[in-house]
Amino acid sequence: MRKFENHNYITKGLQPEKVFRYFEQLSQIPRGSHNEREVSNYLLHFGQSLGLETIQDDVLNIIIKKPGTAGYENAPTVILQGHMDMVCEKNADTEHDFTKDPLKLYLDGDLLKAHGTTLGADNGIAVAFAMAILDSNDIKHPPLEVIVTVEEETGMGGVIGFDKNNVSGKLLINIDSEEEGVFFASCAGGVRANLKLPVERKPVESKGYHLMIKDLKGGHSGLNIKDGRGNAIKLLGRLLNELEVSFDLAHIKGGSKPNAIPREADAVIVCGDEEKLRSEVERLKKIYNNELLQTDHLDIAIKEIAKVEFIYTEECKSQIISGLVMIPCGVQTMSFAIKDLVESSLNIGVLHEKDNKIVFESALRSSVRTLKYEMLERLQIMAKWMNCELETVADYPEWAYNPKSMLQDLFKKIYKDTTGKEGEIAAIHAGLECGFFAEKLTEVGDGSDLDMISFGPNMANVHTPYEQLSISSVTRTFEFLKQILAQIK
């Protein structure tokens, strides 16, 4: 078990002290999806050290229960919920091993960031909030059941494996949102879809050129899909399709997470006219940057490679490039019920080769279940056209809006009373675990007897190395949560 007695806290002096202390401790423990055992054990020990009923289930989810404080013993039980895993993204020039290295936090004015990597505020801040409340003797609250899940970022494996018999609460506060004063009451469902194209190669002996699209903003493939940011994989496919110079393709890859808009993608090609190649790349770079002028910016680097030994066959090259050009990506439909809400979208987030197949990994999202499967049907048709396999994984449900929610009314009231501002009840174009909890923690599986809401402090650029968390917003949001809990009697 990791020890923190001599840790030099970057966040020392920030308030609330316990929230930032626990968040920084979490940042020292590697907790990428599917690598949560150490952080799960840390939370197990934490709950047990407080003398609280603590459960570590078969998939490493943690449940910690705390009785209500004086006067709240008979209040309805409230579930506080978040996930312990994080998206592990880093800049290409950053040396960091997410399986063993602690994050390197630093302060930038009102912002907390990490050097060259994701910060893990999504969703470590939820865990830190819950830990600070569990480790308190002066915060009024009803009986609490804290649920901290695993594998949320890679298909929600934790909530899928969650045993509903471990909890009894019917009020659930999810702390996995990223805009203060915006309270989510509905979310999109999603599914991951992988096109797998068999590849064929032939030997060559030639020098080559490494082309790399880089420096794009990236971002969350749900929250940022409407922001007009460039998708490096799609742009690479377009680049290869629009080059007016003859070339062979030797290698191609891009992105690292299906739920992140890819910032980088690269290919190795063989081309006999270097001068023409460089001229074409510069021409297309100007075109793409002009198109992205209001939303993003890219660079395209070219580096000579001394020796290339294999290239894809001409037919295989054509299939790869055509697939990249044709695969749907971006906003597909907007909601007519909720202003500015993306209703359906796709994001090709990863392109790589595995088992002699090029794999196109996409994340599909929709708040309308039938539209989610309509997008999947388009990919199935595309798979037949490309003569390749379509694999689907991590299919998760949407969370339907509840017009009779007590929590919605309470959140709006307390927010108005404490800030003088109107809180916003909204829907989010991202997958929250609330959809699964609606199915698991209700009698009929439709969420009708489970009241849920999602909120959180201000953060930006999640799922990228530019992730940042507002310190002052954490302070305000934690105080707001304390006010909410005090009102549930």
Per-residue pLDDT tens over the stretch 97-138 = 999 999 999 999 999 999 999 999 999 999 999 999 999 999
What would the pLDDT profile of 18-31 be if each residue is shown by its tens digit?
999 999 999 999 99
DSSP 341-363: -EEEEEEEEEEEEETTEEEEEEE
Q: Are strands 219-220 and 424-428 parallel, antiparallel or unpaired?
A: unpaired
The Cα 489–Cα 486 span in angstroms is 7
Residue 316 has pLDDT above 90, yes or no: yes
Distances (CA, A) of 488 to 86, 185, 414, 454, 484: 31, 18, 12, 16, 7
What Rg, from alpha-carbon coordinates, does the chain have?
24
Q: Residue 401 has what pLDDT?
A: 87
Amino acid code (one letter) for 195: L
**Token pair of 360, please?**
């196109």
Q: Residue 430 has what pLDDT?
A: 86
pTM for this structure?
0.77
Residue 445 has pLDDT above 80, yes or no: no
- Average pLDDT of 422-426? 94
Q: Residue 448 has what pLDDT?
A: 63
What would the pLDDT profile of 359-415 be if each residue is shown by its tens digit?
999 999 999 999 999 999 999 999 999 999 999 988 888 998 888 899 999 999 999
The Cα 149–Cα 57 span in angstroms is 10
What would the pLDDT profile of 270-291 be if each residue is shown by its tens digit?
999 999 999 999 999 999 999 9
List CB contacts of 298: < 8 A, sequence separation 6 or more. 213, 214, 215, 216, 230, 232, 235, 285, 288, 289, 292
Q: Residue 444 has what pLDDT?
A: 53
Max CA separation in the chain (angstroms)? 80
Q: Residue 65: which of 84, 80, 76 has the closest Cα? A: 80
Place of tokens 């003569």: 387
Q: What is the fold, at CATH topology level, of the domain defined by 17-188+398-487? A: Aminopeptidase (3.40.630)
Q: Residue 431 has what pLDDT?
A: 83
Q: Residue 394 has what pLDDT?
A: 82
What are φ and ψ of residue 160, in 5° steps?
-60, -40
Are the C-beta atoms of 364 and 398 separated by less than 8 Å?
no
Say which CATH architecture domain 191-396 belongs to. 2-Layer Sandwich (3.30)
Residue 63 has pLDDT above 70, yes or no: yes
**Token pair of 373, please?**
């499967």
Helix axes 471-487 and 406-419, enclosed angle (nearest 10): 120
Residue 8 DSSP class: -
470-483 burial, b at 16+ Cβ within 10 Å, e below that, comes to bbebbbbbbebbbb
Distance from the Cα of residue 195 to its chain's centroid:
21
**Token pair of 372, please?**
């989610």
What would the pLDDT profile of 225-252 be if each residue is shown by its tens digit?
999 999 999 999 999 999 999 999 999 9
pLDDT band at 2 (very low <50, low <70, confident <90, very high): confident
What would the pLDDT profile of 76-88 be if each residue is shown by its tens digit?
999 999 999 999 9
Region(s) of the chain under CATH 3.40.630.10: 17-188+398-487
Q: Residue 110 has what pLDDT?
A: 98
Are the C-beta atoms of 339 and 239 separated by less than 8 Å?
no
Region(s) of the chain under CATH 3.30.70.360: 191-396
The Cα 379–Cα 365 span in angstroms is 14
- CB atoms closer than 10 angstroms to residue 397: 20
Are the C-beta atoms of 127 and 404 separated by less than 8 Å?
no
Are the C-beta atoms of 89 and 96 separated by less than 8 Å?
no
List CB contacts of 53: < 8 A, sequence separation 6 or more. 47, 64, 65
Q: Residue 435: which of 351, 348, 372 has the closest Cα? A: 372
Q: Are strands 201-214 and 299-312 parallel, antiparallel or unpaired?
A: antiparallel
Catalytic residue among 36, 89, 122, 152: 152
Q: Residue 183: which of 420, 452, 438 has the closest Cα? A: 452
Is 152 marked active-site? Answer: yes
What would the pLDDT profile of 451-489 be if each residue is shown by its tens digit?
999 999 999 999 999 999 999 999 999 999 999 999 999
Residue 189 has pLDDT above 70, yes or no: yes
The region, left, alpha or beta by phi > 0 then psi within -120 to 50, assigned to residue 22 is alpha
The Cα 221–Cα 240 span in angstroms is 24
Q: Residue 446 has what pLDDT?
A: 52
Q: pLDDT exceeding 70 applies to what percent of the chain?
A: 99
Are the C-beta atoms of 77 and 37 separated by less than 8 Å?
no
List CB contacts of 102: < 8 A, sequence separation 6 or more. 27, 28, 29, 30
Q: Where are the beta strands (DSSP E) in 440-489?
A: 451-454, 459-460, 468-470
Query: Strand 182-187's sheet: what is its strand order?
Result: 53-56, 62-66, 144-149, 78-83, 171-174, 451-454, 182-187, 424-428
Catalytic residue among 24, 36, 85, 145: 85
Residue 64 has pLDDT above 70, yes or no: yes
Average pLDDT of the residues of the chain: 95
Q: Residue 229 has what pLDDT?
A: 97
